[in-house]
Each structure stands twice: as structure tokens, then as C-alpha cells.
Chain A
Amino acid sequence: MGGSSPCASCKLLRRRCAKDCVFAPYFPPDDPHKFAIVHKVFGASNVSKMLLELPIYQRADAVSSLVYEANARVRDPVYGCVGAISYLQNQVSQLQMQLAMAQAEILCIQMQQEPNLPTQIDQDEKSLLLSSNFNNNIPQYLGFASSSTVIQDPLKRESLWT
């Protein structure tokens, strides 16, 4: 037997870590929690099948995203990642609305400064400008159209990979 220690998955599964173990490159022995959480949510067998279906150069990213999803599911057993998606879609929606209002305001200012145009713009015209500028072009992922599944504690923005 070689001197290298078994990977985290083979340690957890209590089996011999083969030389071509599919898990070994992605679940080093010094981070047992990483495999434990993925195994808890997806199961070792399913993870193995998913990795074997992918070319080698994509497996590291696949493992990272599986770990991320598993962490999200453990943190929120009901909504998992879907809660975060709903929250972020809401944020995008609100920002786009604010942007549309700001753009409508600039149009109003520009029209008021235009000497040939009337100086007063009434509320109806402003509303029309606002509704024509506000273009809700967010793709509706997973059929979310409302904030019915919004959670207030989303996953952190910048660190998507652990």
C-alpha cells in the first residue's frame, strides 16, 4: 500500500481509497466536513454518478456548486438555494424599478429644460414615462413571480465558493 492517506470520502465511507478514486481530487482528507455535507444531502453514490458523467475539467466546479447547494439546504431545509434565488430576484426587481424612476426623472428634467416644449409636466405624463421606461426583463427562474418564498437571510454575495 502507498503512503498517501485516504480521501475524506473514503474515510467517511470506511473503504479503501483507490488510486483512481473519483472523489480524491476534490475531497482532501484535511476537510472532512466538505464531503460530509454533500453526502448528507445528495448521497455519495449520486455524487459519484454526477461526477463520472462530467469531463474531468468540469468536476472541480461541479463539486464546488454541490457543496454550496448542500450547505444552503442544511442551513434552510425547506427552501435551500431557491430561497436565495427568490430574494435576489426581488433585489433585481427593486433596483430596476429605482433605475426606471431615475431615468424617467432625467427625461422630465431634460424636457423641462427644452425651450420649445411645455415647462409643466403633469402627473399623468410622468406616470406614462415611468411605465414605459420600467421594463421588467428579469427572466423568471423556476417560476418565481412574487416574493412569496423570500427569506431575509440570503447567502453572502461575494463568496460563492467555499
Chain B
Amino acid sequence: MISGRCAACKYLRRRCPSHCIFSPYFPPNDPQRFACVHRIYGASNVGKMLLKLPPHLRAQTADTLYMEAKCRIQDPVYGCVGIISHLHQQIRIAESQLAKTQAEIAVFNSIAREAQVQEIEADSNFFKNLLPEEITAAGLRSYGYGSPSTQTFKFN
């Protein structure tokens, strides 16, 4: 029967046997797929690679072989390796930018901490310079000490 041949057997102009290694992964409605793979790897090599693997891994293998073959056809010099190289470069750039941004954050945080310390010291000096009688109950109330009264507090 001529009809029902997989794309590989159609391409190779042969009968498609019932246990054809290619037919589950190279359906007749996508002839381009097998043509790509055949051009780069050859039918025999693809068949050998698929046969070496357990059936549950063959679909993924056929997909990745097709992807790599497509890459190689689009870029006959570098193929997939061109993409890998480009991704390494993107990683280097992103790492460098990240390090720079994290350094900027560290500087900002350091400036903020320094400002906080100075503020605390300024408050502390303010209280040290006040005379005891200037610290009234009303003033202390604002800091949460005692109830409204005319009492004064003495500090040593």
C-alpha cells in the first residue's frame, strides 16, 4: 500500500513497514521535518540514534534532532553553538549589571544607615544639653512617661 507512508519513507521512496522506526516521529503531513534531519544527519544515522534509545525517549530525541538540524541549516557555520555562545554572552552581561546594581543598593543603604546614626546622636546630644527644669511633665508625656501633671523630674 502506497498510502499511509511516513514522511521518511516517502522521502526515501520506499515501502513503509509496519514497525518503521521513523513513522511515529515523522508524520506524512510534515515532510520538511524529515528533509531537514536527513540533510544534516542522514537517514541511517537518525535511525541508529532512535533505535539505541528506549521508545519513551524517541519522540523527544526526534524533536531535538530536528531543532538542531534546523539551526544548522539556518547557520551552516555555527548551528546551535552560535545560540549557546550568544546566551553565554547574555549571562555575562546580566551578571555584570546585577553586580553593579547590587553595589549601588549597598551604597544607598550605607548612606541611609549613616544618616540614621547621625540623627540618633543629634537627639541624644539635644537631651544632654537640656536643664532638668526644662524637661516638664508635658514634655515627657510626649515620650510616654507618666500622666499630665505639674511635677518636674530631676535628672542626675
Contacts and interface: CB of A to CB of B under 8 A. Distances in A.
Interface residues of B, number: 44
B53 interface: yes
A54, A141, A155: most-surrounded residue (chain B CB, <10 A): A141
A43 B42 contact: yes
Interface in B60-88: 60-61, 64-65, 67-68, 70-72, 76-85, 87-88
Interface residue SS majority, chain B: helix
Given A80-B64, A80-B65, A92-B94, A85 B88 contact: no
Interface centre among A53, A64, A88, A143 (most CB of B within 10 A): A88
A62 B71 contact: no
Contacts of A21: none
Interface in B65-122: 65, 67-68, 70-72, 76-85, 87-88, 90-91, 94-95, 97-98, 101-102, 104-105, 108-109, 112
Contacts of B105: 102, 105-106, 109
Interface of B: 39-42, 44-45, 49, 52-53, 57, 60-61, 64-65, 67-68, 70-72, 76-85, 87-88, 90-91, 94-95, 97-98, 101-102, 104-105, 108-109, 112
